[in-house]
Structure 1
Amino acid sequence: MLFFFLIPLWGPLCLLLPPLQTYARFTGAPLKVHKVTNPWQSPSGTLPALRTGHGEVISVPHKIITHLRKEKYNADYDLSARQGADTLAFMSLLEEKLLPVLIHTFWVDTKNYVEVTRKWYAEAMPFPLNFFLPGRMQRQFMERLQLLCGEHGPENEEELEKELYQEARECLTLLSQRLGSQKFFFGDAPASLDAYVFGYLALLLQAKLPSGKLQAHLRGLHNLCAYCTHILSLYFPWDGAEGPPPRQTPVGPETEEEPYRRRNQVLSVLAGLAAMVGYALLSGIVSIQRTTPARAPGTRSLSMAEEDEEE
């Protein structure tokens, strides 16, 4: 069965995307990857999205992995019960300790967001989406960060940042100690834990960040760096260090198989125009004023003359 996998062209910045692609590479799942720059080109309206051979569309990341496992593409098939428990424990640790710092690094840190994240998205997205989607995504990630760190108030932001980065450094050190000199976390074969760890670490290791507090600590853990390099060379040979080869526009019948293309292009343009007009009206750049039409010269004197004749 062939799976049609829709992913964003700016994949390296999607925090949940690298684990999905890596997991599929580990299991050998037959994915036909289609990279797009407009989320409305997805039948579900979100990215990533998996279209199965039966026409079903799945957009939730963990449900995508569950579906792949049902189709016998299971990276954890040979794990013992204890290794399965370790997988759940370490994945929980990644989400609790490392994910908040990744969100802060790419979406909250002003320097990184302006010079890397927003610039990367704005260059990859088509007009007019590149005007408002990066800002909307930033707000969504900031809301998610608040949910992950709900017990902290906004008044101690500096203390919170210091605590988050300290816990993330401890998490990386623990991962380095657990990996040791092994190729993968459970021996010579990769598992789902490797997919998630690689997804987080490769994102942090490969990006050129002007403010890289956690990045410097990761580069000091040489076994984790070698671990990421090994997975890149083995499962992503087209990805040297920066990204996939240049995207080529498909030619032929494959371009005609996308039934939503023209509709989504029209909708994206209309939505962009509506957003820009609304912003202009709300900000006062454009205003609408009602004026009373001026009377033609002589109208006033003519009406007065008519009143005199009536008298």
Structure 2
Amino acid sequence: MAVFAVTGWIPMKIAGKGFKWFWNKSKPLAITVVVVISAVKIHSYVKKQNRRKKWNNAGKDVVVLHMFPRGHFCPNLSPFVVKLEMYLRMADIPYQVDYEEPVGPKGKCPWITLNGEEIGDSQLIMEKLGPMYNKDFSSALTPEQKAIAQGMRIMVDEHLLWCLVVWRYVVDAGRSLVVCMELPFYFAIMLRVFLGKIKQSTSAQGIGRHSYAEVEEMGRKDLNALSVYLGEKRYLMGDEPTEVDCAVFGMLSQIVWNSPNSPYLKMIETEFTNLQAYCQRIKERFWPDWNECLKPPLPRSQ
């Protein structure tokens, strides 16, 4: 309550005095502003409700996958979108794609609508869908293998991710975004603020406090661990893919297709070539329509 008193009440009091002054100076204009703001909010609310009505009519047990727009070279520039979409394909779960509202109830992308329920976070979504659709690709793994898979997933989702974030948004200053996807016209205006917030996030997480060379070496160690463990196997845990492959492919897809000139791409092309072959295998098996999932779409033969 004390925090609210300091950070919440004072600005509200100032805003109240400002509106009172504005009201006394020009009542007709103040009324017009209130009416316009109210109309915009009502219109936004109606559109939001109509979208949900449409999503709820997708069909019983049909997943509506909410995501950012498609990329030029990879189906998405979010590793977590690619991760979840691969899982849906691997599990043969019927789904539709939506771009109208990419950020979900937890302020994250992707998220899904399923039978009227809104669910956020790619990993939690997979863990919910597995039992519902009777899909458990890790059931044949030993307890030790499951522990290794869990460790690999966390390394990719929670550590290699930040190495890539530092390169994409701090070192490369977001240039790969401009190259790899179609961005709204106003993005250029917001870019500096956006990059500043990302840099603050890397500092808060901790990795942004290291030098670029140190972060690059951390990323190298992660890629080396994946490469060594994969070895000559077709997939990370053996001859058939499991849930951890969705996370690993989601992250590696960003390096292979969405990080031109990055040090991590050079590592995969020269040092960890089995990871590149691994990505190609997954692409061919689960994304036969890869080119059609790009923006703009390409012919399948390219």
- TM-score using structure 1 length: 0.65
2:166 corresponding residue in structure 1: 104
Q: Contact conserved, 1:20 with 1:61, CA < 8 A, in 2?
A: yes
1:147 corresponding residue in structure 2: 204
2:9 corresponding residue in structure 1: none
1:19 corresponding residue in structure 2: 83
Residue 116 of structure 1 pairs with residue 176 of structure 2: yes
2:263 corresponding residue in structure 1: 213
SS in 2 for 1:124: coil
Q: Kindly report which structure 2 residues correspond to 1:121-132, keeping only aligned pairs within 5 A, or say none.
A: 123-125=182-184, 128=186, 130-131=187-188
Please give the alpha-carbon distance, in whole angstroms, between the structure 2 residues aligned to 1:12 and 1:177: 27
Cα distance, 1:207–1:114 mapped onto 2, change above 3 Å: same
Cα distance, 1:134–1:31 mapped onto 2, change above 3 Å: farther
Aligned length, in residue pairs: 231
SS in 1 for 2:247: helix
Give structure 2 stretches of 5+ with no counterpart: 1-60, 298-302
Q: Kindly report which structure 2 residues correspond to 1:252-291, keeping only aligned pairs within 5 A, or say none.
A: none
Structure 1 runs, 4 residues or longer, greater than 6 Å off = 42-45
Please give the alpha-carbon distance, in whole angstroms, between the structure 2 residues aligned to 1:44 and 1:195: 21
Please give the alpha-carbon distance, in whole angstroms, between the structure 2 residues aligned to 1:176 and 1:141: 29
1:59 corresponding residue in structure 2: 120
1:81 corresponding residue in structure 2: 143
Cα distance, 1:137–1:61 mapped onto 2, change above 3 Å: farther
Alpha-carbon shift at residue 90 of structure 1 (Å): 1.3
Please give the alpha-carbon distance, in whole angstroms, between the structure 1 residues aligned to 2:84 and 2:247: 8
Instruction: Name the aligned partner's letter for residue 249 of structure 2.
Output: F
Residue 2 of structure 1 pairs with residue 62 of structure 2: yes
- TM-score using structure 2 length: 0.67
Alpha-carbon shift at residue 206 of structure 1 (Å): 0.9
Give structure 1 stretches of 5+ with no counterpart: 248-311
Q: Contact conserved, 2:102 with 2:111, CA < 8 A, in 1?
A: no
Instruction: Name the aligned partner's letter for residue 183 of structure 2.
Output: A
Cα distance, 1:120–1:177 mapped onto 2, change above 3 Å: closer
Identity of aligned residues (%): 21
Bigger radius of gyration among the two: 1
Cα distance, 1:84–1:144 mapped onto 2, change above 3 Å: farther
RMSD: 2.7
